[in-house]
Amino acid sequence: MLPHKHGYSRWYEKYPNLYQLLEYGETLGQDAQQTLAQDILKVLDKNQPFFEKAAKLKSAGNRNVFGHLKLSMTKRRWYDNIPKLHAYIDTLLFLPDEVLTRIDEQFQPSVETLPRHSRYALAYALVTR
């Protein structure tokens, strides 16, 4: 989905690199999605301290957010089938914007490896110019 005139239809569309990676994953087969997920998880794992702070905001009491997230029963998004990635993506929403922006910048090398003809890369370039 592309950003609407009056905002974004998905919260992560504000972060161009994350947006492109997640949308590109929709076009891949299951094996390629696993590979892409591992690339995304490398960046997210490096930022674990931020997720621990977000978990405190998201969860009640002392509970660890990763142990209490429920996977979507409909599994509409490609990353819903990858529990660790699903947990991270759902927790990203609770991070401060400046942290999300820094994390998004770390995805740039992965985005640069996407095929130039990727409809998501092209569409995003058109919308953001």
30 has a pLDDT exceeding 50:
yes
Contacts of range 96-103, beta carbons closer than 8 Å, 24 or more positions apart: 99/47, 99/50, 100/14, 100/15, 100/18, 101/15, 103/15, 103/18, 103/43, 103/44, 103/47, 103/50
5 has a pLDDT exceeding 60:
no
Least confident of 12-16, 56-60, 62-66: 62-66
The answer to whether 31 touches 37, Cβ cutoff 8 Å, is no
34 has a pLDDT exceeding 90:
yes
pLDDT at 120: 62
pLDDT at 100: 93
23 has a pLDDT exceeding 70:
yes
